[in-house]
Chains A and B, each alone.
With several copies, the nearest count.
Chain A
Amino acid sequence: MSEGPPEEPDMLERAVEATLFASEEPLAVDAISAHLGGLAPADVRDALACLEMRYRARGVHLVERGGRWHFETAPDLAHLMRREKEQVRRLSRAATEVLAIIAYHEPVSRAEIESIRGVQTSAGTLDVLMEAGWVRLAGRREVPGRPVIYATTPQFLDHFGLASRRDLPGIDELRAAGLLDPVDEAMEAALEGVVRFDPDEADDEGHRDG
């Protein structure tokens, strides 16, 4: 606590703290500042930074998720907290896959989801995700047929403890490996260079007879 905030929180910090404690949902800087009678957003940000540091060692943390702030219990206490009833709905495997595909590719159409999964996605799967508040309709893609496209919501970031989509586990690696590119693009890339898979092919030939 030596490097960070002063010993005693000032009025402004206390007000931001109380506001976030009392709020039923995460609040963006603007919302906090509006609630506190038009406090300068810069002051709110300072207060948030102080609070965030102040709570780091505590059983409750102040976290930012998708630009919105809230308090939550410290993750390392999860084993103690789980004792209470689990409030999380169990997602089917299909739903978790669809959610991941949307999160890593958003915005994405149903056809694109299906082309990755290789199977049709039942309407119920997307419904479940939208009902959970994690997925939303994000307009239409301006291609023939104008398909509806889907994206994740701020609640999705909240729920999975992501500060932003850049926090999605492994997203940088996946992107770097081209694994978020459509298959067609990957095909072109693969065929352009040395056809990497030819040497293996010879190997496979062997297996074929084996």
Chain B
Amino acid sequence: MSQEAAPFLFAPDPARAEADALYLELDGWEGPLDLLLDLARRQKVDLLQISILALVDQYLAYIDQAGAMKLELAADYLVMAAWLAYLKSAMLLPKAAQEDPSPEELALRLQLRLQRLGAMREAAARLMGRDRIGRDVFVRGAPEGLRTDRKISWRSDIFALIQAYGQVKARAAPRIYHVANRPVMTLDSALERVSAMLGVTLEWMEIRDFLPPHATPELKRSALASSFVAALELTKRGRAELEQDGAFAPLRIRRLKDAAPA
């Protein structure tokens, strides 16, 4: 390992495979499997044929060396180192003493993982080596661009226009209020009717009986109101008296005896 100012931050170097230095690439994050894969590659064998023990030895030697150089090691490295040390000891023990999973299985698993990582690293390299846009092939430098302008087409018509103007003018014009000719019974005509009907008898009569029999509901309401006011008026004049048993009970009226018929 070379003695650079930042001993564990070596720039990636194409010639690194030749160098016997192991290194951590913190920027590109080379981790334990990565390192193992590198070690496996150096054995120049099929990943399924590699000697796990040799791999373990190399890895542990690397960790030792790093320790000797007082390099800070990522936790991953130390976990992997501990696991590998365990694996190594298990493989050195007699088979009978093995627990499940066997060290062979652990080694196989490790090999399979390395194989998969190796495959992906190779795939990544091939991917990066393709003709890439912006490096090997180029798209049009100054495309005119396609534009779909959403244009609103406003619609209206002459009637809407003059109607709108009419409304504006009507709103602005001095307002003249016309009261519509509603079917009503005026107070005068109610007074007339009630007086006339009171003249007929001295008995109590319900005020509802004074209403015109065939009136529409609107006219009936108006007649009731007018007749009530007429009844109050006649009572005030001392010509009739009113009687009611309770709120909203039938309202009765009769002519006062002394009073002359209207």
Contact = CB atoms under 8 A, between A and B. Distances in A.
Interface of A: 18-19, 21-25, 35, 61, 70-75, 78, 81-94, 96-97, 99-101, 103-104, 115-122, 125, 128, 131-132, 134, 158-162, 168-171, 174, 177, 179-183, 185-188, 190-192, 195-198, 200-201, 203-205, 207-210
25 contacts: A19-B146, A21-B143, A35-B148, A74-B137, A78-B136, A84-B151, A89-B153, A90-B154, A90-B156, A97-B124, A99-B161, A100-B121, A100-B127, A100-B161, A117-B34, A119-B76, A159-B132, A160-B156, A161-B130, A174-B123, A179-B116, A186-B112, A190-B108, A197-B111, A204-B183
A90 B123 contact: no
Given A25-B142, A103-B127, A88 B160 contact: no
Nearest to A118: B33
Interface in B124-144: 124-128, 130-144
Given A85-B148, A161-B130, A204 B51 contact: yes
Given A81-B147, A207-B219, A160 B158 contact: yes
Given A19-B146, A86-B135, A179-B167, 10 more contacts: A78-B131, A88-B135, A117-B168, A118-B76, A119-B33, A161-B132, A169-B162, A180-B169, A201-B183, A208-B185
Contact of A174 (B124, B169, B183, B219): B169
Contact of B27 (A61, A92, A183): A92
Nearest to A189: B180
B104 A198 contact: yes
Interface stretch (B65-73, B171-179, B229-237): B171-179
B141 A22 contact: yes
Contact of A204 (B146, B150, B166, B219): B219
Given A82-B147, A201-B104, A168 B138 contact: no
A208 B85 CA distance: 14
Contacts of A191: 105, 108
A157 to B, nearest CB: 10
Interface residues of B, number: 101
Contacts of B127: 96, 99-100, 103, 160, 168-169
A158 B130 CA distance: 11
B54 interface: yes
Contacts of B82: none
B99 interface: no
B120 to A, nearest CB: 5
A108 B38 CA distance: 25
Contacts of B155: 88-91
Contact of B51 (A74, A85, A132, A207): A207
B131 A75 contact: yes
Contacts of A115: 113
B115 A118 contact: no
B49 interface: yes
A104 B189 CA distance: 51
